[in-house]
Amino acid sequence: MKKIFIFLLLSAGIFLFIAVEGSHRTLRSDIFSKDTLSNISPKDYFSTESQLVNTILTRYHYRKFKLNDSLSSVVFDRYIESLDHSRSYFLESDIKSLENYRYKIDDFIMEGDVVPAFDIFNVYRHRLIYIMKYADSLLNKEFDFTIDENFEIDRSKSPWPKSEGELLEIWRKRIKNDALNLKLTGKEWPDISETLRKRYNNLRKAVLQYNSDDVFQLYMNAYTSALDPHSNYLSPITFDNFNIDMSLSFEGIGATLQNDEDYTKIVEIIPGGPASRSGILKVNDRIVSVAQGEDGEFIDVIGWRINDVVKLIRGPKGTVVRLQILPEGAGADFIPIVVSLVRDKIILEEQAANKSVLELTRDDKSYRIGVIKIPKFYTSFNSKDQSETKSTTKDVKKLIKELQQENVDGIIIDLRNDGGGALSEAIELTGLFIKDGPVVQVRNSDGSIEIGDDPDPKLFYDGPLVVLVNRFSASASEIFSGAIQDYGRGIIVGEKTFGKGTVQNLLDLNRMIPNSENKFGQIKLTVAKYYRINGGSTQNLGVIPDIQLPTAFNHDEFGESSEKNALPWDQINPTDYQKVGNLSSVIPELRERHLSRIEKNAEFDYIFEQIEEYNANRDRKFISLNEDIRKKEKEAEEEKTFQRENLRREKLGLKLLEKGEIPKDSPDNDDILLKETGNILADFIELEIK
């Protein structure tokens, strides 16, 4: 039997050393106070499950790897980061003590020993509970906002705090900044302190609600994400919720949400839903509070578990929910905007391709440009009467016919924010625009290569074509746009695409041990990689447009290339295909016309200024905690925005705004970019005629 020795040492706080004789672990946990909080322990079968996960990953993952000390170090960093991304809980001394595990995690996984992962989590859990008590104590007295001091916005790359005092100072400034943000919205101290008490109490509750399944999922995901960002472990409850979310309909706002540190972030907006129709909510916006009805009280949801936030937002069709939103890129001093939405039934079948016609007049010549918006590559789901199946290709064929009957001069396929879907639909859709030939190559984990060919040897549409993409066009969208580019069939316009060129399979671990009384989770792992017909992968690099539109997105911060441990770009031999057009002679002229046009366009002046402001805010490291300074900054920003909007309206011939008036007739940036894409297509038509 192993002997356990416990030593107590008073220093910056109370340090608890646990040394197990003959064991691999020596854990240090500084909990600052005599905390009676019990630790979370692993379930007995986690040992078997962790070994099963390891067996599947080592045998079937696309990336051929060895679980060794090198990978162990990566898993260690991923796990620590998943717990404390902002470096605001662990001390430097904690990390030094935990370094004992860095090169042993590979051994732990192979042995089925998950106790170290729970040891680490319990250190984090004790720290957070203590810090939340400290946060509550700070709210007994109003802060002095006349002091000149600064708050560090992003600590993800900062040094770990060296002492308890330094850690608590970080939190004092964070809490003071939260309080100042609320004060700048007009709230008085009693309301501020009450709101923040609830916020930090919710953080404490969220961590107290963690169970052993949650911790095991965090640990297994540190392992899977060390291989690539799209391989995941799903605990039984997470998988059950995933199935519920993928049901055919639900009542809500039409947005997919996920946790992003303490915030709830929008990761997808479902076309046709209330969020999409609002025209205000965007991917990566953060929800900070939720209110019911037209005049219900806002409930602060920072620090809430995602399931609890979803419960607040979902509700009966026809009812109103109001959200306070921090837009993507908004700084820590941004005052949230309020968005009011009427809940509706979200029918996933209704996420179908749709069409519109863009009217353009240039030099007394009119153009009718057909636009087909494809939200997702879908297939094989039944319509409401269940009498026929739907698919992207079927719907687009129908829309093309309708647009031809409306005498359009060319067609734009709009794939912006299309995250992908069915590979078969990407192949078949490409086939509408080429006579025959290969569309994509797929290399499996065993090195074998499969070629996806156009199944229909007919050319459905041979007219002028532009494909519009952005940074959130991914997977199947990239296969389609890459093939159109490789064949020279159309012009690719927009932003560099996401760069997801990998294939995942979902495996049920319960099938591996069918007679077990225990309920295991699911493992989603990367098993293959997509390659263009020219041999280049879409992975990591994405599809680079022939003509790039202005964007604030930094490729190092958004998309696959920003993901840690993303599989690299590479290439294989090209497959045999015949280009149907050579656009290299017209693209330089199209690009020159585009740049000349947007240089004189007031709408693009506005976009360029927004990009410049976004980049400035993104690069900002510190903000003042002095109320007068922040007020002046806020007033200056509001004045700048007001003057910029009126300058834009003056150039466009629109009525100027009064101070405080909200514009309702200003063109949306998406509309401006679509119109410019239409102009590029019109240029293409003119050059082809010449």
Which active-site residues does the annotation give?
Answer: 475, 486, 500
Kindly state the tokens that stand for 498: 């996401």
Q: Whose CA is closest to 38, among 118, 140, 133? A: 118
Rounded Cα distance, 660 and 636, in Å: 14
Cα-flanking dihedrals φ and ψ of residue 243, to 5°? -65, -40
* Rounded CA separation 68/96 (Å): 21
> DSSP labels for 632-670?
HHHHHHHHHHHHHHHHHHHHHTPPPPPTTPPPSSSPPHH
SS (H, E, C) 530-572: EECCCCEECCCCCCCCCEECCCCCCCCCCCHHHCCCCCCCCEC
Residue 533 to residue 57: CA distance in whole angstroms: 29
Write down how long the chain is: 690
Q: In whole angstroms, how far apart are CA 364 and each of 323, 329, 406, 681?
A: 46, 41, 20, 17
Give the CA dihedral 302, 304, 310, 313, nearest 10 degrees: -40
Residue position matching structure tokens 């939200």: 375
Largest CA distance in the chain: 92
Please tell me the distance from the alpha carbon of residue 12 to that of residue 30, in angstroms, as a whole number.
Answer: 9
CA separation for the pair 651, 311 (Å, rounded): 45
- DSSP 8-state symbol, 37: P
Cβ(325)–Cβ(275) below 8 Å:
no
Using CA atoms, how far residue 416 sits from 281, 393, 483, 639, 673, in Å, is: 15, 17, 17, 32, 11
Other CB atoms within a 10 A radius of the CB of residue 682 amount to 23
CA 54 – CA 110 distance, rounded (Å): 7
CA distance 583 to 580: 10
Which of 334, 269, 417 shows the shortest CA–CA distance to 613?
A: 334
* Residue type at position 382: N
Cβ atoms 421, 476 nearer than 8 A: yes
Q: Which of 330, 342, 377 is nearest to 481 (CA)?
A: 377
Centre a 10 Å sphere on the Cβ of residue 160 and count the other Cβ atoms it contains.
19
The helix (H) or strand (E) run that includes residue 428 is helix 423-431
Which DSSP string corresponds to 385-407?
TSSSEEEHHHHHHHHHHHHHHTT
Kindly write down the DSSP assignment for every residue of 189-240, as one continuous string: HHHHHHHHHHHHHHHHHHHHT--HHHHHHHHHHHHHHHH-TT-EEE-HHHHH
Q: Which two tokens stand for residue 671?
A: 């509309």
- Given a contact cutoff of 8 angstroms between Cβ atoms, the answer to whether 496 and 545 are in contact is yes
